[in-house]
Homo-oligomer: A and B are copies of this chain.
Amino acid sequence: MAQEEVPSQDPALPATAYAVLGLLSFGQELTGYDLRKWAMNMRYFYWSPAQSQIYLELRRLLQHDLVEVQVEEQKSRPDKRLYRITEAGLKVFREWLDHAPVGPPLLKHSVALRLFFGHQTDHARLREVLTEYRDWAVEQTTGLTELRTELDQRLPYPALVATWGSAYFAAEITAIDAVLADLDRMDREEEAD
* Cα-based distance from A109 to B136 in the complex (angstroms): 19
In the complex where A115-B164, A168-B175, A186-B156 touch, is A121 in contact with B97 (Cβ < 8 A)? yes
* Cα-based distance from A113 to B182 in the complex (angstroms): 34
Asked if A33 is an interface residue, CB under 8 A from chain B, the answer is no
* CB closest chain-B residue, reference A157: B118
Q: How many copies does the complex hold?
A: 2
* CB closest chain-B residue, reference A132: B102
Q: Which of B46, B132, B179 contacts A108 (CB 8 A)?
A: B46
A104 cross-chain contacts in B, Cβ below 8 A: 136
Asked if A188 is an interface residue, CB under 8 A from chain B, the answer is no
Q: Which of B90, B110, B116, B179 contacts A105 (CB 8 A)?
A: B110
Asked if A80 is an interface residue, CB under 8 A from chain B, the answer is no
In the complex where A167-B174, A175-B164 touch, is A107 in contact with B106 (Cβ < 8 A)? yes
* Residue from A105, A132, A155, A158 having most chain B Cβ neighbours under 10 A: A105
